[in-house]
Amino acid sequence: MDEKLQARFNDQIALEHASERAYLQMAAWAEAHDYTGTAAWLRDQAHEEAEHAQIFMDFVLDRDGEVRLTALEAPQAEFDDLVALFSAALEHEKKVTTSIGELYAASQEARDYSSLPLLTRFLDEQVEEEASVSTIVGELAMVADDPSAVLMLDRELPGRRGAQDNGSSG
């Protein structure tokens, strides 16, 4: 594997680990504020992000590349409300989408065509991830002034089956 491309894959691995930590921190905030359904949904997302990091690590190693884990910054820990929390999650998903898109372009430029199917799968998944989180943001914004509706939405979140069903990206 081209060294520059390997470095980009290592950057993506770091971003997937940062995503895991961001979702875990959000889950802790939600749990502390008694949004147990949201906390469960966020923990599932965190688990999915850890799986994505492992998929990228395995891919690099299968290509005789080297994985280099790096230090990570602490994720955002405070949110004004659930709308703010899920808005932050949506922005993070958009960052992941951009990163995978750039990795795809770098793979094309390096003529590393064997990377493209994996990255295509992750890009397709990101469309679903962003749509799912965007829907949650919209629903929460609609009911933000109605505590019972917010609580109902919180309680239904763990039952939502999202992009994690096909095990790609997030």
* The one-letter amino acid at 121: R
The reported pTM is 0.92
Q: Which of 71, 65, 77, 99 is nearest to 28 (CA)?
A: 77
pLDDT for 167 equals 43
Contact by Cβ (8 Å): 56, 122:
no
Query: Could you give the domains of the chain?
Result: 3-65+79-161 (1.20.1260.10)
Which region, left, alpha or beta, applies to residue 68 given φ > 0 means left and ψ of -120 to 50 means alpha? Answer: beta
Confidence (pLDDT) at 108: 98
The count of other CB atoms within 10 Å of the CB of residue 21 is 16
CA dist list (Å): 88 to 22, 71, 98, 137: 9, 21, 15, 10
pLDDT tens digits in sequence order for the chain, 170 residues long:
899 999 999 999 999 999 999 999 999 999 999 999 999 999 999 999 999 999 999 999 999 999 999 999 999 999 999 999 999 999 999 999 999 999 999 999 999 999 999 999 999 999 999 999 999 999 999 999 999 999 999 999 998 765 444 444 45
DSSP annotation string for 71-121: --PPPP---SSHHHHHHHHHHHHHHHHHHHHHHHHHHHHTT-GGGHHHHHH
